[in-house]
Amino acid sequence: MTEKDDYAIILDYLPYGYPMGGKPMPIAQAIGEKSFALLELIPRRGVVLTQNEKVYIGPDKRDKIHYIGGKLSFEKITESAKIQLQEFIGEKVKEREEEIVNFFNNAQAINMRLHQIELLPGFGHKHTQEILKAREEKAFASFEDIRKRVNNVPDPKRAVEKRIYEELSQKQRFNLFVK
């Protein structure tokens, strides 16, 4: 069972709903703070939301959100929401650096031919082998530590940001970061 988010970040607010869709009612496009799930939120009557606003969506009484309309497909999010999404991902990767560096320290082989690290954009078999060798000597402490200890490695922070965006925008066989 996946852990549900208590908070979401507003990516875009459509006070009159979707331009070509059904009845005109306010809709917020948001992303779950922990799970990175794209969500459609219906605000309470009279509530105006702003981009990047953090709203409570947990099981207790919600002050701004009437209900969660459901999961949102990437194809349905606005261009403005896509820009906010990239900023959100960048902030979250920076915020969760320790957790993501632990991914590099603990990533495993998926099968005989593919390793989790190889799913990151720019990380091939050679980089993966160098990372595995370096982490045997000592666990990585930061993104900077990975870059210093592994020759010619792509920027790990940017690679993780790209991977999260890919997991949200395209169906992936294996998700590393989006639940």
Predicted local confidence at residue 74, as pLDDT: 94
Pick from 72, 98, 99, 97: nearest CA to 85: 72
Same domain, 102 and 162: yes
Is 86 inside a domain boundary?
no
Look up the CATH number of the domain holding residue 33. Answer: 2.40.50.140
* Domain-terminating residue out of 24, 42, 77: 77
Residue 142 domain boundaries? 96-169
Whether residue 27 is found in the same domain as residue 68 = yes
What separation, in Å, do the N-terminal and C-terminal C-alpha atoms of the chain show?
10
pLDDT value of residue 94: 96
**8 A C-beta contact, residue 18 and residue 160:** no
pTM reported for the whole predicted model? 0.89
Residues 72 and 112 in one domain: no
What is the CATH number for 163?
A: 1.10.150.280
Please check whether residues 101 and 66 belong to one and the same domain: no
Out of 49, 77, 105, a domain closes at 77
Identify the pLDDT of residue 24: 83
Please tell me the predicted confidence (pLDDT) of residue 22: 65
CA distance 170 to 9: 21
Label residue 119 left, alpha or beta by phi (over 0 means left) and psi (-120 to 50 means alpha).
alpha
Check residue 109 and report its DSSP letter: B
Please give the Cα distance from 142 to 138 (Å, whole number). 12
Q: pLDDT by residue for the chain (179 residues), tens digit each? A: 456 899 999 999 999 988 876 668 999 999 999 989 999 999 999 999 999 999 999 999 999 999 999 999 999 999 999 999 999 999 999 999 999 999 999 999 999 999 999 999 999 999 999 999 999 999 999 999 999 999 899 999 999 999 999 999 988 889 999 88
pLDDT digit string (tens) for 57-91? 999 999 999 999 999 999 999 999 999 999 999 99
pLDDT at 2: 55
Flag whether 53 is in a domain. Answer: yes
Please list, in sequence order, all residues whose beta carbon lies within 8 angstroms of the beta carbon of residue 170, skipping any fewer than 6 positions away: 74
Distance CA 124, CA 105 (A): 17
Is 41 part of a structural domain of the chain?
A: yes
Are 108 and 72 in the same domain?
A: no
Residue 127: inside a domain: yes
- Indicate the residue among 77, 105, 129 that finishes a domain: 77
Domain tally, the chain: 2
